[in-house]
Chains A and B, each alone.
Chain A
Amino acid sequence: MNNTLIIGQYVPGDSIVHRLDPRTKITIIFFFVFIVFFANNVAGYSLLTVFALTCMLTSKVPIRFIIKGLTPVWFLIVFTFILHLFVTKEGTVILDFWIFEFYSGGVVQGFAISIRFFLLILVTSLLTLTTTPIEITDAIEDMLHPLKRFKFPVHELALMMSISLRFIPTLMQETDKISKAQASRGVDFRTGPIRERIKAIVPLLVPLFVSAFKRAEELAMAMEARGYQGGEGRSKLRELKIEKRDIFVLILFILVVAGLILARMYG
């Protein structure tokens, strides 16, 4: 049975980072994205790095997964570093090589930008690694709630998000099943000329669409049958609750922010 497909990149766990209220996590990350650009000296960057690494270690997500999440941006980080080496002409010349002159400012700037990138990616991927998509949806619904006053369909939006998230694994399973059935009938998805391979998608997509539409209709009918009529007065199965640990982590984060401001003022 292939019912263990990963949605997004969530890695189940029981660490404090996993158990934090998703709203806490989203809030922290939202502000973290801003304050990363606020740091301008060694003390500031160290503080942020320590914070991010602490989060990473307490989450107990295997390093392998984090590295895997970083691979696509690795190149970007290295590229910006090298670009800064060549382009920035500040500080003293530390190396004179052929027609290039490398300035100390370039190295510093390169480092700073790379660290920023690294921290941003690390923290945001920690969110998706430790929070189920459903939790994120719930948190977003809750945090967008004030917009309801302006007739913004918050509940409907959240419902759409959770339904599509709910059906990702189902669709993936379905894809797996159908592609196996068609492979058994001699379809070759992996080798052969590109034209042939594109043609091989048709026997996969048609059944997939047919079943997706059927499923949507069935779901609508089932919801109707159980008297679903939108968010008014509806209670929740998973009530989001701010616990002591959330307050603790938020205070910790505020301290980090305060520390950063101090570092900037006196650093």
Chain B
Amino acid sequence: MDITFENVTYIYQQNTPFAHKAIDDLSFQIKSGSYVAIIGHTGSGKSTLIQHLNGLAIPTEGKVSIGSYHLSKEEKPKDMKELRSKVGVVFQYPEHQLFEETVAKDIAFGPQNFGVSEAEIQNRINEITSAVGLDESLLERSPFDLSGGQMRRVAIAGVLAVKPDVLVLDEPTAGLDPRGQKEIMDMFYKLHQDQGLTTILVTHSMEDALKYADHVLILNKGTKYMEGSPEEVFSQKEALQRVQLDVPEIVQFLDEFQERFGTSIPFKKQSVKELAEAIQQQIKGAEST
């Protein structure tokens, strides 16, 4: 589903002394099937932005369109539930939303609410537990007996079991060990490709954004600061540092490489191996002349 923000402004507690503008005149477009990373400092409006994607927040001004659903002050979809079954949101620390007696019941909770048949739910549970890397023996355990990493996987499975078209991820790997982080991010990427999902990743990790996203949106104080392909955005080191953001390690490396050796290698989202080859060529080229 295509997603469009048109001049969206969102104000918390409007008309009180606590009024606070979280999003300010924000416009952008996300094409169906793309993988977008949203990056910004704490308080830049990322969390508020994603709440607009499934109707948890309605724009104070402006309009949000998700496929054929339109959200604005004047116009709300009649069936918010339908929209929410199409847009799955994995919130920060999703394990806090677990409540059922068993893991299987918790995973089934979402699909049940959206009216999926019992037989289909059973299918999905089996399919998804293996996809998120949960052992089947855990299905009948209480989610509160599991380790933090396992709880996270159960919560993610609960969102995926709804089979959304759009997957919104709000720092899905915060607080996990590096291996768990990589496993979960790779799992999301595989799903994104296999099922043609539109994925929106809110993250602090430039490395993740560079690795997975094909479009990057940088927010600052509720407005759009930069937008473009990862190559475009991450090559602008100064602009990023102005809003207290770092560039990915590889960009930093290329920068220092240029400073030290006086020759530049253009940044094209190359892998470490490709980079090594490029350096090798440069050195060889220098020797031959």
Contact = CB atoms under 8 A, between A and B. Distances in A.
Contacts of B51: 180
Nearest to A187: B113
Contact of A1 (B47, B88, B162): B47
B99 A4 contact: no
Say whether chain A's binding surface is mostly helix, strand, loop, or mixed: helix
B84 A183 contact: yes
A174 B110 CA distance: 20
A188 B55 CA distance: 13
B97 A2 contact: no
B88 A207 contact: no
A190 to B, nearest CB: 9
A69 B153 CA distance: 46
A178 interface: yes
B99 A206 contact: yes
Interface string B75-113: 000000100110111010010111100000000011011
A154 B204 CA distance: 46
Interface string A200-215: 0011001100110000
Q: Which of B18, B144, B158 has the most CB of A within 10 A?
A: B18
A185 interface: yes
Given A1-B47, A11-B17, A181 B97 contact: yes
Q: How large is the interface on B (under 10, 10 to 19, 20 to 34, 35 or more residues)?
A: 20 to 34
B278 interface: no
Contacts of A206: 99
Nearest to B91: A181
Nearest to A202: B99
A187 B110 CA distance: 8
A6 interface: yes
Contacts of B89: 181, 184
Contacts, number: 69
Interface in A149-190: 174, 177-178, 180-188
Q: Which of A1, A2, A6 has the most CB of B within 10 A?
A: A1
B200 interface: no
Given A1-B47, A12-B17, A186-B110, A207 B91 contact: no
B159 interface: yes
Nearest to A11: B17
B54 A185 contact: no
* Contact-residue bracket for chain A: 20 to 34
B31 interface: no
Contacts of B144: 210
Contacts of A193: none
Interface in B239-286: none
B223 to A, nearest CB: 16
A183 B87 CA distance: 12
Interface string B1-35: 00000000000110001101010000000000000
Nearest to B159: A185
A180 B96 contact: no
A186 B91 contact: no
Contacts of B113: 185-188
Contacts of B81: 186, 188
A182 B97 contact: yes
Q: Which of A174, A182, A185, A202 has the most CB of B within 10 A?
A: A185
Contact of B99 (A62, A180, A207): A207
Nearest to A200: B113
A207 B97 contact: yes
B43 interface: yes
A211 B109 contact: no
A1 B43 contact: yes
The 9 closest A-B pairs by CB, nearest first: A186-B113, A206-B99, A181-B97, A185-B110, A4-B18, A184-B89, A186-B114, A203-B99, A181-B91
16 contacts: A1-B43, A4-B12, A6-B18, A12-B17, A178-B96, A180-B91, A184-B87, A185-B84, A185-B159, A186-B81, A186-B110, A187-B113, A203-B99, A206-B99, A207-B99, A210-B144
Given A185-B158, A188-B113, 13 more contacts: A1-B22, A4-B12, A178-B97, A180-B56, A183-B84, A184-B89, A184-B91, A185-B113, A186-B84, A186-B112, A186-B113, A203-B97, A207-B97
Interface of B: 12-13, 17-18, 20, 22, 42-43, 47-48, 51, 54, 56, 81, 84-85, 87-89, 91, 94, 96-99, 109-110, 112-114, 144, 158-159, 162
